[in-house]
Amino acid sequence: MNAVITVVGRDKVGIIARVSTLLYERNINILDLSQTIMQGNFTMVMLVDVSNSTCSFAETSDALTKLGHDMELTIRIQREEIFDAMHTI
């Protein structure tokens, strides 16, 4: 099962490092990653595979939200299907 992680906020040192560490600790594989500056904001989109994750989707989501709070960023994780459904026929 794939999910999309989005990170939005002010650029700073260690965003990718801390998000990927959190994923590594839960055995979540990063499939694709892109980052850019959109309207002055740092934005990062990660496609991850959560099939072999050592914890539940909800726990990962909570951990990412908490990390976002600590780093003053907005971090979300959502199942990939919602984006597919809305933007592809």
CB of 83 to other proteins, least distance (A): 5
15 exposed, middle or buried (CB, 10 Å; 0-12, 13-18, 19+)?
A: buried
Of the listed pieces 9-17, 18-26, 77-85, which binds other proteins according to CB under 8 A?
77-85
* Gap between the Cα atoms of 64 and 7, Å rounded: 10
Q: Does 20 sit near other proteins (CB under 8 A)?
A: no
Q: Does 83 sit near other proteins (CB under 8 A)?
A: yes
String of contacts with other proteins for each residue 25-64, x by CB under 8 A: ------xx-x-x-x----x-x-x---------xx--x---
Q: How far is Cα of residue 64 from the mean position of the Cα atoms in its chain?
A: 7
* Gap between the Cα atoms of 45 and 49, Å rounded: 13
